[in-house]
Structure 1
Amino acid sequence: MTSPPNVHIEIDGRPAAGLDPAVIPVLQGAYGHFTAMQVRDRRTRGLALHLERLDHGTRELFGTDLDGDRVRSLVRHALDGSGRADAGVRVYVYGAAAGGGAPTVVVTVREPQSMPETPRSMMPVPFLRPVPHIKHAGGVGQPYYGRAAALAGFDDALLTGPGGEVAEGHIANVAFWDGTSLVRPDAPALRGITMTLLERLLPHERREVRLADLGRYPAAVLMNSQGLAPVHRIGTAEFAVDGALMSRLREAYGTVPWDEI
Protein backbone atom coordinates (compact mmCIF):
# COMPACT_ATOMS: atom_id res chain seq x y z
CA MET A 1 0.00 0.00 0.00
CA THR A 2 1.46 3.34 -1.07
CA SER A 3 0.31 6.83 -0.15
CA PRO A 4 -1.35 9.02 -2.81
CA PRO A 5 0.63 12.17 -3.68
CA ASN A 6 0.74 14.67 -0.80
CA VAL A 7 -0.96 12.22 1.58
CA HIS A 8 0.94 10.65 4.47
CA ILE A 9 -0.56 7.36 5.68
CA GLU A 10 0.32 5.43 8.81
CA ILE A 11 -1.13 2.11 9.92
CA ASP A 12 -0.89 1.48 13.65
CA GLY A 13 1.89 4.05 13.77
CA ARG A 14 3.93 2.65 10.88
CA PRO A 15 4.22 4.19 7.40
CA ALA A 16 2.00 2.50 4.84
CA ALA A 17 5.06 1.51 2.81
CA GLY A 18 5.98 -0.88 5.62
CA LEU A 19 2.52 -2.47 5.80
CA ASP A 20 2.30 -5.83 7.54
CA PRO A 21 0.85 -8.24 4.94
CA ALA A 22 -1.48 -9.66 7.61
CA VAL A 23 -3.34 -6.33 7.65
CA ILE A 24 -4.08 -6.28 3.91
CA PRO A 25 -7.25 -8.48 4.08
CA VAL A 26 -8.62 -6.29 6.87
CA LEU A 27 -8.22 -3.10 4.82
CA GLN A 28 -9.52 -4.68 1.63
CA GLY A 29 -12.72 -5.66 3.41
CA ALA A 30 -13.51 -1.97 4.01
CA TYR A 31 -15.52 -2.90 7.12
CA GLY A 32 -14.74 0.01 9.35
CA HIS A 33 -15.49 3.58 10.32
CA PHE A 34 -13.69 6.91 10.64
CA THR A 35 -13.70 10.51 11.72
CA ALA A 36 -12.40 13.54 9.80
CA MET A 37 -10.94 16.63 11.41
CA GLN A 38 -9.18 19.80 10.46
CA VAL A 39 -5.98 20.38 12.41
CA ARG A 40 -4.36 23.76 12.91
CA ASP A 41 -1.14 24.09 14.90
CA ARG A 42 -1.66 20.44 15.98
CA ARG A 43 -5.05 21.27 17.47
CA THR A 44 -8.60 20.47 16.41
CA ARG A 45 -12.10 21.51 17.37
CA GLY A 46 -14.30 19.06 19.27
CA LEU A 47 -11.56 16.54 19.99
CA ALA A 48 -13.58 14.82 22.71
CA LEU A 49 -16.45 14.35 20.25
CA HIS A 50 -14.12 12.81 17.67
CA LEU A 51 -12.72 10.38 20.23
CA GLU A 52 -16.21 9.54 21.46
CA ARG A 53 -17.36 8.88 17.87
CA LEU A 54 -14.42 6.54 17.28
CA ASP A 55 -14.94 4.67 20.54
CA HIS A 56 -18.69 4.21 20.06
CA GLY A 57 -18.25 3.09 16.46
CA THR A 58 -15.55 0.61 17.43
CA ARG A 59 -17.72 -0.83 20.18
CA GLU A 60 -20.65 -1.28 17.79
CA LEU A 61 -18.71 -2.66 14.83
CA PHE A 62 -16.07 -4.73 16.64
CA GLY A 63 -17.30 -5.26 20.20
CA THR A 64 -14.31 -3.59 21.83
CA ASP A 65 -13.34 -0.12 22.95
CA LEU A 66 -10.78 2.21 21.41
CA ASP A 67 -8.53 4.06 23.81
CA GLY A 68 -8.57 7.80 23.16
CA ASP A 69 -4.97 8.23 24.29
CA ARG A 70 -3.91 5.66 21.69
CA VAL A 71 -5.73 7.60 18.98
CA ARG A 72 -4.16 10.89 20.02
CA SER A 73 -0.70 9.32 20.08
CA LEU A 74 -1.18 7.86 16.59
CA VAL A 75 -2.39 11.19 15.20
CA ARG A 76 0.56 13.04 16.75
CA HIS A 77 2.93 10.45 15.30
CA ALA A 78 1.38 10.78 11.83
CA LEU A 79 1.59 14.57 11.99
CA ASP A 80 5.26 14.26 12.90
CA GLY A 81 5.81 11.88 10.01
CA SER A 82 4.07 14.19 7.57
CA GLY A 83 5.94 17.29 8.73
CA ARG A 84 2.61 19.16 8.96
CA ALA A 85 1.21 21.17 11.88
CA ASP A 86 -1.82 22.27 9.82
CA ALA A 87 -3.60 19.41 8.06
CA GLY A 88 -6.72 17.55 7.11
CA VAL A 89 -6.63 14.35 9.20
CA ARG A 90 -8.73 11.22 9.02
CA VAL A 91 -8.65 8.38 11.53
CA TYR A 92 -9.99 5.06 10.20
CA VAL A 93 -10.68 2.04 12.39
CA TYR A 94 -10.78 -1.51 11.01
CA GLY A 95 -10.78 -4.93 12.61
CA ALA A 96 -7.74 -6.60 14.12
CA ALA A 97 -5.29 -8.35 11.83
CA ALA A 98 -5.08 -12.15 11.78
CA GLY A 99 -4.22 -13.43 15.22
CA GLY A 100 -6.42 -11.00 17.09
CA GLY A 101 -5.39 -7.99 19.14
CA ALA A 102 -6.43 -4.35 19.02
CA PRO A 103 -8.36 -2.84 16.10
CA THR A 104 -6.27 -1.56 13.20
CA VAL A 105 -6.03 2.24 13.17
CA VAL A 106 -5.13 4.09 9.97
CA VAL A 107 -4.30 7.81 10.09
CA THR A 108 -4.12 9.88 6.91
CA VAL A 109 -2.63 13.37 6.82
CA ARG A 110 -3.00 15.73 3.89
CA GLU A 111 -3.02 19.47 3.26
CA PRO A 112 -5.52 21.51 5.32
CA GLN A 113 -8.93 21.95 3.72
CA SER A 114 -11.70 24.54 4.00
CA MET A 115 -15.20 24.45 2.58
CA PRO A 116 -15.69 27.08 -0.13
CA GLU A 117 -17.85 29.86 1.32
CA THR A 118 -19.67 30.40 -1.99
CA PRO A 119 -23.36 29.44 -1.99
CA ARG A 120 -23.96 25.76 -2.74
CA SER A 121 -26.55 23.99 -4.85
CA MET A 122 -27.82 20.51 -3.92
CA MET A 123 -29.49 17.82 -5.99
CA PRO A 124 -32.01 15.67 -4.10
CA VAL A 125 -31.32 11.95 -4.55
CA PRO A 126 -33.30 8.89 -3.37
CA PHE A 127 -30.77 7.41 -0.99
CA LEU A 128 -30.23 7.07 2.76
CA ARG A 129 -26.97 5.80 4.23
CA PRO A 130 -27.20 2.39 5.92
CA VAL A 131 -26.38 2.45 9.65
CA PRO A 132 -26.40 6.26 9.35
CA HIS A 133 -25.37 7.05 12.93
CA ILE A 134 -21.91 5.59 12.19
CA LYS A 135 -19.46 7.39 9.93
CA HIS A 136 -18.58 4.16 8.17
CA ALA A 137 -16.01 3.50 5.50
CA GLY A 138 -16.72 1.91 2.13
CA GLY A 139 -20.00 1.85 0.25
CA VAL A 140 -20.78 3.10 -3.22
CA GLY A 141 -23.95 5.12 -2.56
CA GLN A 142 -22.47 8.40 -1.36
CA PRO A 143 -19.73 8.75 -4.00
CA TYR A 144 -22.13 7.55 -6.70
CA TYR A 145 -24.71 10.22 -5.93
CA GLY A 146 -22.09 12.87 -5.27
CA ARG A 147 -20.71 12.27 -8.75
CA ALA A 148 -24.21 12.23 -10.23
CA ALA A 149 -24.93 15.62 -8.66
CA ALA A 150 -21.68 17.06 -10.02
CA LEU A 151 -22.44 15.74 -13.53
CA ALA A 152 -25.87 17.38 -13.32
CA GLY A 153 -24.29 20.74 -12.46
CA PHE A 154 -24.88 20.74 -8.67
CA ASP A 155 -22.30 21.19 -5.93
CA ASP A 156 -23.57 18.45 -3.62
CA ALA A 157 -26.11 15.67 -3.34
CA LEU A 158 -28.93 15.81 -0.77
CA LEU A 159 -29.88 12.40 0.60
CA THR A 160 -33.63 11.87 0.95
CA GLY A 161 -36.03 9.13 2.03
CA PRO A 162 -38.86 7.49 0.05
CA GLY A 163 -41.38 10.11 1.17
CA GLY A 164 -39.13 13.05 0.34
CA GLU A 165 -37.75 13.26 3.87
CA VAL A 166 -34.56 15.32 3.93
CA ALA A 167 -31.68 13.62 5.75
CA GLU A 168 -28.20 15.02 5.03
CA GLY A 169 -25.76 16.00 2.36
CA HIS A 170 -23.69 13.21 0.87
CA ILE A 171 -20.63 14.32 2.89
CA ALA A 172 -22.07 17.01 5.18
CA ASN A 173 -24.95 17.91 7.44
CA VAL A 174 -27.61 20.29 6.19
CA ALA A 175 -29.65 22.56 8.45
CA PHE A 176 -32.44 25.04 7.82
CA TRP A 177 -33.12 28.41 9.40
CA ASP A 178 -36.75 29.06 10.32
CA GLY A 179 -36.17 32.65 11.42
CA THR A 180 -35.32 31.87 15.04
CA SER A 181 -33.61 28.47 15.18
CA LEU A 182 -31.44 26.07 13.25
CA VAL A 183 -33.55 23.07 12.23
CA ARG A 184 -31.82 19.71 11.85
CA PRO A 185 -33.84 17.18 9.82
CA ASP A 186 -34.90 14.20 11.92
CA ALA A 187 -34.52 11.62 9.15
CA PRO A 188 -31.80 9.03 9.84
CA ALA A 189 -28.43 10.76 9.39
CA LEU A 190 -25.00 11.16 10.92
CA ARG A 191 -24.81 13.81 13.61
CA GLY A 192 -21.72 15.70 12.55
CA ILE A 193 -19.17 17.19 14.92
CA THR A 194 -19.59 20.73 13.54
CA MET A 195 -23.37 20.46 13.83
CA THR A 196 -23.07 19.26 17.42
CA LEU A 197 -20.73 22.11 18.35
CA LEU A 198 -23.02 24.72 16.79
CA GLU A 199 -26.08 23.31 18.53
CA ARG A 200 -24.38 24.02 21.85
CA LEU A 201 -24.16 27.70 20.95
CA LEU A 202 -27.34 28.56 19.04
CA PRO A 203 -31.10 28.01 19.29
CA HIS A 204 -31.90 24.75 17.51
CA GLU A 205 -34.43 21.98 17.17
CA ARG A 206 -34.89 18.75 15.31
CA ARG A 207 -37.97 18.14 13.20
CA GLU A 208 -39.16 16.47 10.03
CA VAL A 209 -38.19 18.35 6.88
CA ARG A 210 -39.59 17.28 3.52
CA LEU A 211 -38.70 18.41 0.03
CA ALA A 212 -42.26 19.61 -0.44
CA ASP A 213 -41.93 21.91 2.58
CA LEU A 214 -38.62 23.62 1.77
CA GLY A 215 -40.42 26.86 0.93
CA ARG A 216 -41.09 27.33 4.65
CA TYR A 217 -37.44 28.03 5.33
CA PRO A 218 -35.81 31.31 4.34
CA ALA A 219 -32.26 29.95 4.49
CA ALA A 220 -30.24 26.75 4.56
CA VAL A 221 -26.64 25.92 5.44
CA LEU A 222 -24.24 23.06 4.76
CA MET A 223 -21.60 22.11 7.34
CA ASN A 224 -18.87 19.59 8.02
CA SER A 225 -15.37 19.55 9.50
CA GLN A 226 -14.17 21.83 6.71
CA GLY A 227 -16.53 24.65 7.68
CA LEU A 228 -19.85 26.23 6.72
CA ALA A 229 -21.46 27.40 3.50
CA PRO A 230 -24.87 28.78 2.59
CA VAL A 231 -27.17 26.75 0.35
CA HIS A 232 -28.89 28.78 -2.37
CA ARG A 233 -30.75 25.98 -4.16
CA ILE A 234 -32.05 22.48 -3.52
CA GLY A 235 -33.49 21.04 -6.70
CA THR A 236 -35.79 23.82 -7.90
CA ALA A 237 -36.28 25.35 -4.42
CA GLU A 238 -34.28 28.54 -3.94
CA PHE A 239 -33.05 30.09 -0.70
CA ALA A 240 -31.86 33.55 0.15
CA VAL A 241 -28.19 33.84 1.02
CA ASP A 242 -28.51 35.45 4.43
CA GLY A 243 -25.21 37.21 5.07
CA ALA A 244 -26.18 38.18 8.61
CA LEU A 245 -27.07 34.58 9.44
CA MET A 246 -23.84 33.23 7.99
CA SER A 247 -21.84 35.82 9.93
CA ARG A 248 -23.64 34.81 13.11
CA LEU A 249 -22.96 31.09 12.48
CA ARG A 250 -19.31 31.65 11.64
CA GLU A 251 -18.83 33.94 14.63
CA ALA A 252 -20.36 31.33 16.93
CA TYR A 253 -18.24 28.54 15.42
CA GLY A 254 -15.20 30.75 15.78
CA THR A 255 -15.62 30.72 19.57
CA VAL A 256 -15.17 26.93 19.71
CA PRO A 257 -11.76 26.24 21.27
CA TRP A 258 -9.04 24.31 19.47
CA ASP A 259 -8.08 21.26 21.56
CA GLU A 260 -4.48 20.09 21.70
CA ILE A 261 -4.09 16.65 20.17
Structure 2
Amino acid sequence: MTTAPIRLEVDGREPRLEDLYHPLLTGYGHFTAMQLRAGRVRGLSLHLSRLAAATRELWSVDLDTDQVRAYAAHAVRDIADAAVRIMIYHPAELRVLVLVRPPASPPAAPLALRSARYERPAAHIKHLGGFGQGYHAAQAVAAGFDDALLVDHTGAVEEAAIHNVGFYDGTTVTWPTAPHLAGIAMQLLAPRLPEAGIPSRTARVELSDLPSFRAAFVTNSIGITAVRRIDDVEYPIDPALMSALTQAESTIPWDAL
Protein backbone atom coordinates (compact mmCIF):
# COMPACT_ATOMS: atom_id res chain seq x y z
CA MET A 1 0.00 0.00 0.00
CA THR A 2 1.10 3.58 -0.67
CA THR A 3 0.55 7.07 0.70
CA ALA A 4 -2.76 8.51 -0.39
CA PRO A 5 -3.49 10.12 -3.70
CA ILE A 6 -6.54 12.40 -3.80
CA ARG A 7 -9.58 10.21 -4.44
CA LEU A 8 -13.33 10.77 -4.27
CA GLU A 9 -15.92 8.00 -4.37
CA VAL A 10 -19.72 8.15 -4.16
CA ASP A 11 -21.45 5.05 -2.78
CA GLY A 12 -18.30 3.03 -3.41
CA ARG A 13 -17.66 4.05 -7.03
CA GLU A 14 -16.09 6.80 -9.08
CA PRO A 15 -18.56 9.70 -9.16
CA ARG A 16 -20.56 10.70 -12.20
CA LEU A 17 -21.04 14.39 -12.88
CA GLU A 18 -24.66 14.25 -11.74
CA ASP A 19 -23.54 12.76 -8.40
CA LEU A 20 -21.74 16.01 -7.65
CA TYR A 21 -24.53 18.49 -8.42
CA HIS A 22 -26.06 18.31 -4.96
CA PRO A 23 -22.79 18.53 -2.99
CA LEU A 24 -21.72 21.50 -5.12
CA LEU A 25 -25.01 23.36 -4.73
CA THR A 26 -25.83 22.80 -1.07
CA GLY A 27 -24.01 22.72 2.23
CA TYR A 28 -26.76 20.72 3.91
CA GLY A 29 -25.18 17.52 5.11
CA HIS A 30 -22.74 16.23 7.68
CA PHE A 31 -19.43 14.42 7.88
CA THR A 32 -16.72 12.87 9.97
CA ALA A 33 -12.97 13.09 9.47
CA MET A 34 -10.26 10.66 10.50
CA GLN A 35 -6.60 9.88 10.01
CA LEU A 36 -5.71 6.48 8.56
CA ARG A 37 -2.39 4.96 9.60
CA ALA A 38 -1.30 1.51 8.40
CA GLY A 39 -4.91 0.87 7.36
CA ARG A 40 -6.31 1.73 10.80
CA VAL A 41 -8.15 4.62 12.41
CA ARG A 42 -8.88 5.65 15.97
CA GLY A 43 -12.41 5.60 17.35
CA LEU A 44 -14.07 3.98 14.34
CA SER A 45 -17.23 3.06 16.25
CA LEU A 46 -17.55 6.66 17.47
CA HIS A 47 -17.17 7.99 13.93
CA LEU A 48 -19.88 5.65 12.65
CA SER A 49 -22.17 6.42 15.58
CA ARG A 50 -21.72 10.14 14.91
CA LEU A 51 -22.75 9.67 11.28
CA ALA A 52 -25.77 7.55 12.21
CA ALA A 53 -27.01 9.98 14.87
CA ALA A 54 -26.71 13.04 12.61
CA THR A 55 -28.42 11.23 9.72
CA ARG A 56 -31.33 10.33 11.96
CA GLU A 57 -31.59 13.88 13.31
CA LEU A 58 -31.36 15.64 9.94
CA TRP A 59 -33.51 13.35 7.78
CA SER A 60 -35.27 10.86 10.11
CA VAL A 61 -33.75 7.89 8.29
CA ASP A 62 -31.38 5.17 9.40
CA LEU A 63 -27.83 4.96 8.08
CA ASP A 64 -26.34 1.55 7.27
CA THR A 65 -23.04 2.01 9.07
CA ASP A 66 -21.72 -1.36 7.89
CA GLN A 67 -22.20 -0.16 4.32
CA VAL A 68 -20.53 3.17 5.13
CA ARG A 69 -17.55 1.32 6.55
CA ALA A 70 -17.38 -0.82 3.42
CA TYR A 71 -17.43 2.29 1.22
CA ALA A 72 -14.59 3.84 3.25
CA ALA A 73 -12.56 0.63 3.14
CA HIS A 74 -13.01 0.47 -0.63
CA ALA A 75 -11.80 4.05 -1.05
CA VAL A 76 -8.55 3.26 0.81
CA ARG A 77 -8.17 -0.28 -0.51
CA ASP A 78 -4.59 0.27 -1.72
CA ILE A 79 -3.60 3.04 0.70
CA ALA A 80 -1.86 2.76 4.06
CA ASP A 81 -1.83 6.34 5.35
CA ALA A 82 -4.37 9.05 4.52
CA ALA A 83 -6.76 11.70 5.72
CA VAL A 84 -10.27 10.32 5.18
CA ARG A 85 -13.50 12.30 5.20
CA ILE A 86 -16.92 10.64 5.01
CA MET A 87 -19.74 12.99 3.97
CA ILE A 88 -23.46 12.22 4.02
CA TYR A 89 -25.97 13.96 1.75
CA HIS A 90 -29.65 13.34 1.04
CA PRO A 91 -30.69 14.85 -2.31
CA ALA A 92 -33.45 12.22 -2.81
CA GLU A 93 -31.89 9.28 -1.05
CA LEU A 94 -28.80 8.98 1.12
CA ARG A 95 -25.48 9.41 -0.63
CA VAL A 96 -22.12 8.59 0.97
CA LEU A 97 -19.09 10.50 -0.32
CA VAL A 98 -15.64 9.37 0.77
CA LEU A 99 -12.78 11.78 0.19
CA VAL A 100 -9.22 10.49 0.53
CA ARG A 101 -6.27 12.87 0.75
CA PRO A 102 -2.64 12.68 1.88
CA PRO A 103 -2.24 12.26 5.65
CA ALA A 104 -2.01 15.33 7.87
CA SER A 105 0.29 16.05 10.80
CA PRO A 106 -0.15 18.33 13.82
CA PRO A 107 1.22 21.89 13.53
CA ALA A 108 4.94 22.05 14.14
CA ALA A 109 4.65 24.94 16.61
CA PRO A 110 2.24 25.92 19.41
CA LEU A 111 -0.80 27.91 18.30
CA ALA A 112 -1.93 31.46 18.87
CA LEU A 113 -5.73 31.81 18.95
CA ARG A 114 -7.87 34.92 18.57
CA SER A 115 -11.30 34.93 20.16
CA ALA A 116 -14.31 35.53 17.93
CA ARG A 117 -17.97 35.75 18.82
CA TYR A 118 -19.66 33.03 16.81
CA GLU A 119 -22.15 30.30 17.70
CA ARG A 120 -22.33 27.42 15.24
CA PRO A 121 -25.93 26.35 14.50
CA ALA A 122 -26.59 22.80 15.73
CA ALA A 123 -23.10 22.82 17.18
CA HIS A 124 -23.36 19.19 18.29
CA ILE A 125 -23.49 18.07 14.62
CA LYS A 126 -20.34 17.99 12.49
CA HIS A 127 -22.21 19.61 9.66
CA LEU A 128 -21.09 20.89 6.30
CA GLY A 129 -21.15 24.51 5.18
CA GLY A 130 -18.91 25.86 7.94
CA PHE A 131 -18.57 29.35 6.42
CA GLY A 132 -18.80 31.15 9.77
CA GLN A 133 -16.01 29.29 11.51
CA GLY A 134 -13.91 29.40 8.34
CA TYR A 135 -14.42 33.14 8.08
CA HIS A 136 -13.34 33.76 11.67
CA ALA A 137 -10.35 31.44 11.28
CA ALA A 138 -9.25 33.35 8.17
CA GLN A 139 -9.68 36.67 9.97
CA ALA A 140 -7.56 35.36 12.84
CA VAL A 141 -4.80 34.28 10.46
CA ALA A 142 -4.91 37.67 8.72
CA ALA A 143 -4.38 39.29 12.13
CA GLY A 144 -1.28 37.19 12.83
CA PHE A 145 -2.87 34.32 14.76
CA ASP A 146 -3.14 30.65 13.80
CA ASP A 147 -6.84 29.98 14.38
CA ALA A 148 -10.00 31.34 15.96
CA LEU A 149 -11.38 30.53 19.40
CA LEU A 150 -15.17 30.60 19.20
CA VAL A 151 -17.02 32.30 22.04
CA ASP A 152 -20.77 32.66 22.54
CA HIS A 153 -22.72 35.88 23.19
CA THR A 154 -22.27 35.49 26.95
CA GLY A 155 -18.48 35.24 26.74
CA ALA A 156 -18.35 31.47 27.23
CA VAL A 157 -15.67 29.56 25.32
CA GLU A 158 -17.02 26.91 22.93
CA GLU A 159 -14.22 25.47 20.77
CA ALA A 160 -11.62 26.49 18.22
CA ALA A 161 -12.61 26.64 14.54
CA ILE A 162 -11.53 23.05 13.85
CA HIS A 163 -10.45 21.84 17.29
CA ASN A 164 -11.70 21.17 20.76
CA VAL A 165 -9.83 23.14 23.39
CA GLY A 166 -8.71 22.11 26.87
CA PHE A 167 -7.41 24.29 29.71
CA TYR A 168 -5.01 23.21 32.48
CA ASP A 169 -4.78 24.85 35.90
CA GLY A 170 -1.75 22.88 37.07
CA THR A 171 -3.79 19.97 38.35
CA THR A 172 -6.91 19.40 36.22
CA VAL A 173 -7.85 19.70 32.56
CA THR A 174 -11.13 21.56 31.98
CA TRP A 175 -13.14 21.12 28.79
CA PRO A 176 -15.60 23.98 28.08
CA THR A 177 -19.32 23.17 28.17
CA ALA A 178 -20.75 25.95 25.97
CA PRO A 179 -22.39 24.40 22.87
CA HIS A 180 -19.70 22.73 20.78
CA LEU A 181 -18.93 19.63 18.76
CA ALA A 182 -17.70 16.79 20.95
CA GLY A 183 -14.78 15.76 18.76
CA ILE A 184 -13.82 12.10 18.52
CA ALA A 185 -10.26 12.88 19.59
CA MET A 186 -11.54 14.62 22.72
CA GLN A 187 -13.97 11.78 23.47
CA LEU A 188 -11.12 9.28 23.25
CA LEU A 189 -8.57 11.35 25.17
CA ALA A 190 -10.55 12.77 28.09
CA PRO A 191 -11.37 9.47 29.86
CA ARG A 192 -7.73 8.38 29.57
CA LEU A 193 -6.27 11.45 31.25
CA PRO A 194 -6.75 10.24 34.86
CA GLU A 195 -4.57 7.21 34.11
CA ALA A 196 -1.88 9.65 32.97
CA GLY A 197 -2.17 11.48 36.29
CA ILE A 198 -4.40 14.35 35.14
CA PRO A 199 -8.00 14.66 36.37
CA SER A 200 -10.41 15.78 33.63
CA ARG A 201 -13.67 17.66 34.02
CA THR A 202 -16.19 19.72 32.04
CA ALA A 203 -17.20 23.21 33.17
CA ARG A 204 -18.16 26.62 31.87
CA VAL A 205 -15.07 28.60 30.84
CA GLU A 206 -15.34 32.32 30.15
CA LEU A 207 -12.87 34.55 28.36
CA SER A 208 -12.31 36.33 31.64
CA ASP A 209 -11.19 33.00 33.17
CA LEU A 210 -8.33 32.44 30.73
CA PRO A 211 -5.59 34.14 32.81
CA SER A 212 -6.34 31.74 35.67
CA PHE A 213 -5.15 28.73 33.67
CA ARG A 214 -1.53 27.66 33.38
CA ALA A 215 -1.69 26.06 29.95
CA ALA A 216 -4.02 25.30 27.05
CA PHE A 217 -4.07 22.86 24.15
CA VAL A 218 -6.27 21.78 21.25
CA THR A 219 -7.24 18.36 19.92
CA ASN A 220 -8.65 16.96 16.71
CA SER A 221 -8.13 13.88 14.55
CA ILE A 222 -4.70 15.17 13.51
CA GLY A 223 -3.38 15.21 17.07
CA ILE A 224 -2.73 17.37 20.14
CA THR A 225 -1.14 20.82 19.88
CA ALA A 226 -0.14 23.24 22.63
CA VAL A 227 -1.60 26.74 22.67
CA ARG A 228 0.89 29.52 23.41
CA ARG A 229 -1.48 32.49 23.34
CA ILE A 230 -5.17 33.43 23.32
CA ASP A 231 -5.73 37.11 22.55
CA ASP A 232 -3.31 38.83 24.96
CA VAL A 233 -3.08 35.91 27.41
CA GLU A 234 0.26 34.10 27.07
CA TYR A 235 0.66 30.44 28.03
CA PRO A 236 4.13 28.99 28.61
CA ILE A 237 4.48 25.52 27.13
CA ASP A 238 4.22 22.89 29.88
CA PRO A 239 6.43 19.94 28.85
CA ALA A 240 5.07 17.71 31.63
CA LEU A 241 1.49 18.35 30.55
CA MET A 242 2.22 17.75 26.88
CA SER A 243 4.09 14.55 27.75
CA ALA A 244 1.13 13.31 29.80
CA LEU A 245 -1.32 14.17 27.03
CA THR A 246 0.84 12.35 24.49
CA GLN A 247 1.10 9.36 26.82
CA ALA A 248 -2.67 9.22 27.19
CA GLU A 249 -3.16 9.57 23.45
CA SER A 250 -0.73 6.71 22.81
CA THR A 251 -3.06 4.31 24.68
CA ILE A 252 -5.94 4.91 22.24
CA PRO A 253 -6.31 1.77 20.11
CA TRP A 254 -6.36 1.75 16.30
CA ASP A 255 -9.26 -0.01 14.55
CA ALA A 256 -9.03 -1.76 11.21
CA LEU A 257 -11.09 0.06 8.63
The TM-score bracket by the shorter chain reads over 0.9
Q: Which segments of 5 or more consecutive residues in structure 2 lack a partner in the other structure? A: 194-198
Which amino acid in the other structure matches residue 6 of structure 2?
V
Runs of 4+ in 1 over 3 A off after TM superposition: none
CA–CA distance in structure 2, aligned partners of residues 247 and 66 of structure 1: 39
Q: Could you say which residue in structure 2 is the equivalent of 1:225?
A: 221
2:42 aligned with 1:51: no
Provide the secondary structure at the position in 2 that maps to 1:146.
helix
Task: Give the C-alpha shift of residue 30 in structure 1.
Answer: 1.8
2:186 aligned with 1:191: no
2:70 aligned with 1:73: yes
Q: What are the within-5 Å matches in structure 2 for residues 1-261 of structure 1?
A: 6-16=5-15, 18-19=16-17, 21=18, 24-25=21-22, 27-80=24-77, 83-97=78-92, 101=93, 103-202=94-193, 203-261=199-257
TM-score (norm 1): 0.92
Provide the secondary structure at the position in 1 that maps to 2:79.
coil
Q: Does the Cα contact within 8 Å between 1:222 and 1:228 map onto a contact in 2?
A: yes
Q: Does the Cα contact within 8 Å between 1:27 and 1:94 map onto a contact in 2?
A: no
CA–CA distance in structure 1, aligned partners of residues 191 and 65 of structure 2: 23
Q: Could you say which residue in structure 1 is the equivalent of 2:196?
A: none
Identity of aligned residues (%): 47
Task: Give the C-alpha shift of residue 115 in structure 1.
Answer: 1.2
CA–CA distance in structure 1, aligned partners of residues 162 and 91 of structure 2: 27
Q: Does the Cα contact within 8 Å between 2:156 and 2:204 map onto a contact in 1?
A: yes
Q: Does the Cα contact within 8 Å between 2:83 and 2:103 map onto a contact in 1?
A: yes
Task: Give the C-alpha shift of residue 85 in structure 1.
Answer: 1.4
TM-superposition CA deviations, 1:229-259 (whole Å, max 9, x none): 1001000011121011001101110111100
CA–CA distance in structure 2, aligned partners of residues 247 and 139 of structure 1: 32
TM-superposition CA deviations, 1:64-106 (whole Å, max 9, x none): 12122111100111112xx421100000001043xxx4x1100
CA–CA distance in structure 1, aligned partners of residues 145 and 82 of structure 2: 27
Which amino acid in the other structure matches residue 252 of structure 2?
V
Change (3 A) 1:110 1:159: same
RMSD: 1.5
Q: Does the Cα contact within 8 Å between 1:164 and 1:211 map onto a contact in 2?
A: yes
Task: Give the C-alpha shift of residue 117 in structure 1.
Answer: 4.1
Q: Does the Cα contact within 8 Å between 2:184 and 2:220 map onto a contact in 1?
A: yes
Provide the secondary structure at the position in 2 that maps to 1:199.
helix
Query: Which is worse superposed, 34-43 or 22-31?
Result: 22-31
TM-superposition CA deviations, 1:195-241 (whole Å, max 9, x none): 11111111211111111110111000011000001001000011121
TM-score (norm 2): 0.93
